[in-house]
């Protein structure tokens, strides 16, 4: 039995195929690369398609922000028990260089976890390993009813 099959909760249910992935994750081409719930870290990949490009031919910043949100949030959600979720309260993104279409890798981590409020950070890198954007976020752990 794999780790995904043993664990329960929203994140693990998606990974095990027990529930479908969120539509936004599918649109972004979200793919789990590695997750370490004990360290509260995650690495995911995205496929930035041609439909994500701005008139300059680079990935539009809103898509990069969505990718970072879909990196940081799962770093926390993977640590939660069944019945809990952690919506993002705020997200701060800095764009460091243009991102080209193709595979982008997000690395996220929980910086500080409280009983309800958590602080997250991460980065998005291109295929050459260059950081294209960084983000910090605040999330709030909620019980799903």
How many residues are present in the chain?
145
Distance from C-alpha of 80 to C-alpha of 88, rounded to nearest angstrom: 15
Distance from C-alpha of 137 to C-alpha of 91, rounded to nearest angstrom: 4
Q: What is the pLDDT of residue 104?
A: 98
Largest CA distance in the chain: 47
Instruction: Tokens for 41, please give them.
Output: 């870290």
Instruction: Tokens for 122, please give them.
Output: 């991460």
pTM for the model:
0.93
Q: What is the pLDDT of residue 2?
A: 52
Per-10-residue mean pLDDT of the chain, 145 residues long, equals 67 92 94 96 97 96 98 96 94 98 98 97 97 98 90
* Contact partners, residue 30, CB within 8 Å, separation at least 6: 21, 44, 45, 46, 70
Q: What is the pLDDT of residue 133?
A: 98
Domains and CATH numbers, the chain: 3-143 (3.10.129.10)
Distance from C-alpha of 139 to C-alpha of 114, rounded to nearest angstrom: 10
* Angle at 92 (CA atoms; ends 29, 21), nearest 5 degrees: 25
Distance from C-alpha of 108 to C-alpha of 121, rounded to nearest angstrom: 6
């Amino acid at each position: 039995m794999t780790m995904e099959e043993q664990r329960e909760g929203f994140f693990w249910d998606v990974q095990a195929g027990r529930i479908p992935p969120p539509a936004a994750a599918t649109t972004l081409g979200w793919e789990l690369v590695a997750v370490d719930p004990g360290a509260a870290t995650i690495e995911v990949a995205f496929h930035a398609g041609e439909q994500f490009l701005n008139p300059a031919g680079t990935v539009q910043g809103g898509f990069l922000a969505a990718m970072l949100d879909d990196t940081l949030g799962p770093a926390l959600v993977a640590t939660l028990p069944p019945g809990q979720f952690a919506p993002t309260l705020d997200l701060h993104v800095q764009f460091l260089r243009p991102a080209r279409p193709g595979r982008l890798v997000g690395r996220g981590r929980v910086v500080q976890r409280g009983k309800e409020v958590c602080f997250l950070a991460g980065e998005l890198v291109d295929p050459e390993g260059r950081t294209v954007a960084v983000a910090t976020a605040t999330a709030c752990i909620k019980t799903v009813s």
